Amino acid sequence: MAQLSYREAVAAAMAQEMRKDPNIVFLGEDVAAAGGVFKATVGLLDEFGPTRVRDMPISEQAILGATMGAAMTGLRPIAEIMFSDFLAVCWDLVANEIAKMRYMTNGQVNLPLVIRAGNGGGARFGAQHSQSVENWAMAIPGIKVVAPSNAADVKGLLAASIQDPDPVLFFEQKSMYGLKCDVPEGDYVLPLGQANISREGSDVTIVALAAMVPKALKAAEILQDKHGLSCEVIDLRTLVPLDTKSIIESVTKTGRLVTVEENPRLCGWGAEIASIAAEELFWNLDAPIMRITTPHIPLASVDKLEDLMIPSVDRIVDVVSEMD
């Protein structure tokens, strides 16, 4: 094991796969000489050179257009969209071209590409640079959606995304880039579509994603110590494919379900999970399903307001402790 930060794990995963496959190339703004605006790609230019690690113009459409074309001609490109909010600028390429190409060509054209993006709040970047946009991607058929909660999962899931034959949107939570944990050394790949039971429990199932996972785990400790509640915490890791099996097994055991989402409440991914639980587990539920989300308003840049909007450990504790 090695102690790596979330950002270091990004570079480690990309280097791991680029060493194995010369067809993997990397495109984005300031990703080469500068090592990325979040310093998540430091060292890649030095190791792989300017042919495979390329700085692009300040144009999301150009980045994804080149990425799609590269994938169509046999390369396996990785693109960086600096802030996930900027996917709005090039969403037509994602939703109408990249997501649909395999289906529209009857499998004659596959697009084995990854689009990485810094995602989410907590860094005081304001309404246009702090959105969690996993729901945008989850709503489009033909795209896989990944959002890791720690450095080890970053390495394993990004490697799997690069190997995948389908397009993958890989969301990196910006406020977590500096957080470190033990990361397996050598070749390391985690399967997409397999959630992680981060904490086992018997009274309540808490389903979380990305930056909400450590908050859910902290809340689970408090709920055990102060309220005697045993909480099972599920780190989804991927939204598409979604590990419904793990969710159903957990809620069948606990009888209670809480989702913790950084996304705005309306049409959040937790609503889909709540729908699945209501359909599959209605008679197993001992209490109403609860969703903890950000409100349906743009995120503030003021620290106290942003902290108030994004789900906190205290909010999770309050909601879970008050469940009937």
Alpha-carbon distance of 161 to 195, in angstroms, equals 15
pTM of the shown model: 0.97
91 and 7 together in one domain: yes
Q: Is the peptide bond before 148 cis (omega within 30 degrees of 0)?
A: no
295 and 201 together in one domain: yes
224 and 288 together in one domain: yes
CA 212 to chain centre: 11
Alpha-carbon distance of 169 to 102, in angstroms, equals 16
166 and 215 together in one domain: no
Q: Are 265 and 294 in contact (CB under 8 A)?
A: yes
214 and 163 together in one domain: no
Q: Are 83 and 121 in contact (CB under 8 A)?
A: no
26 and 63 together in one domain: yes
Which residue in 148, 117, 286 sits closest to 214, CA to CA? 148
Domain assignment present for residue 188? The answer is no
Domain assignment present for residue 211? The answer is yes
Write phi, then psi, for 26 (nearest 5 degrees). -135, 125
135 and 56 together in one domain: yes
In order of 98, 277, 310, the CA distances from 215 in angstroms are 34, 23, 11
Domain assignment present for residue 136? The answer is yes
SS3 category, 95: helix
Half-sphere exposure of residue 113, counting CA atoms within 13 Å on the CB side?
32
221 and 295 together in one domain: yes
The question of whether 296 is a catalytic residue gets the answer no
Q: Which of 183, 208, 227 is at the close of a domain?
A: 183
Domain assignment present for residue 190? The answer is no
- Give the CATH number for residue 10: 3.40.50.970
Domain assignment present for residue 191? The answer is no
174 and 30 together in one domain: yes
Q: Which of 159, 183, 207 is at the close of a domain?
A: 183
Q: Are 183 and 189 in contact (CB under 8 A)?
A: no
Q: Looking at residue 165, what DSSP letter applies? A: S
What is the per-residue pLDDT for 92? Answer: 97
159 and 279 together in one domain: no
255 and 145 together in one domain: no
Domain assignment present for residue 189? The answer is no
Q: How many CB atoms lie within 10 A of CB 1?
A: 9
SS3 category, 310: coil
Q: Are 264 and 136 in contact (CB under 8 A)?
A: no
Q: Which domain holds residue 223?
A: 196-321
| Structural domain total, the chain | 2
Q: Which of 133, 162, 183 is at the close of a domain?
A: 183
Domain assignment present for residue 299? The answer is yes
- In a structure prediction context, what are the per-residue pLDDT tens digits for the chain, which is 324 residues long? 899 999 999 999 999 999 999 999 999 999 999 999 999 999 999 999 999 999 999 999 999 999 999 999 999 999 999 999 999 999 999 999 999 999 999 999 999 999 999 999 998 999 999 999 999 999 999 999 999 999 999 999 999 999 999 999 999 999 999 999 999 999 999 999 999 999 999 999 999 999 999 999 999 999 999 999 999 999 999 999 999 999 999 999 999 999 999 999 999 999 999 999 999 999 999 999 999 999 999 999 999 999 999 999 999 999 999 997
Q: Which of 52, 76, 129, 144 is catalytic?
A: 129
- Give the CATH number for residue 281: 3.40.50.920
Extract the runs of DSSP E, i.e. beta strands, from 9-125.
Answer: 24-28, 53-55, 76-83, 114-119
Could you report how far apart the first and last alpha carbons of the chain are, in Å? Answer: 43
118 and 252 together in one domain: no
What is the per-residue pLDDT for 1? Answer: 87
What is the per-residue pLDDT for 183? Answer: 97
Domain assignment present for residue 152? The answer is yes
